[in-house]
Structure 1
Amino acid sequence: MSEKLKLTREAVAAMKFERVHRMGLTNTTGRGATGNGGEVTHQRIVCTFSFFGDREQDRGSSRNLRGTPLYVTE
């Protein structure tokens, strides 16, 4: 979060999460350098914030992801 969303490390360390987990499969075909025929995929991460303000800070910083294959949704 501090690297891609450009949040300070202190802000990220202060955030509290209820639950964080990955969704979906990666490298399903087992071919190519990336294990999926050379196609680069990203695995979804779902997190539940303990505080609404932390979530909104994260969503507000999502504008830093423009031009990348990454995104943040509510």
Structure 2
Amino acid sequence: MSNPSRRKQSIITVMFLIAGFWGIFMGLIVFTKPNFILTALGMVNISLGIFLGFRILRKDKQELNRRK
């Protein structure tokens, strides 16, 4: 499996982060009774976004080290 391009990874990371914050917002604020499932899925999306962002940063660091 080949690595996706940096641009695609950045877009997917932003989508996960936005979906995560949106899920937490909907689960805690919009519904009158807090919805645990939406909030939990929002946290999962934020975690995935952070993980993919970390991969992007590590990938950039490895490319910089390879050029030296």
What TM-score comes out, normalization by structure 1 length?
0.29
Q: What TM-score, normalized by structure 2, do the two folds share?
A: 0.31
Higher strand share: 1
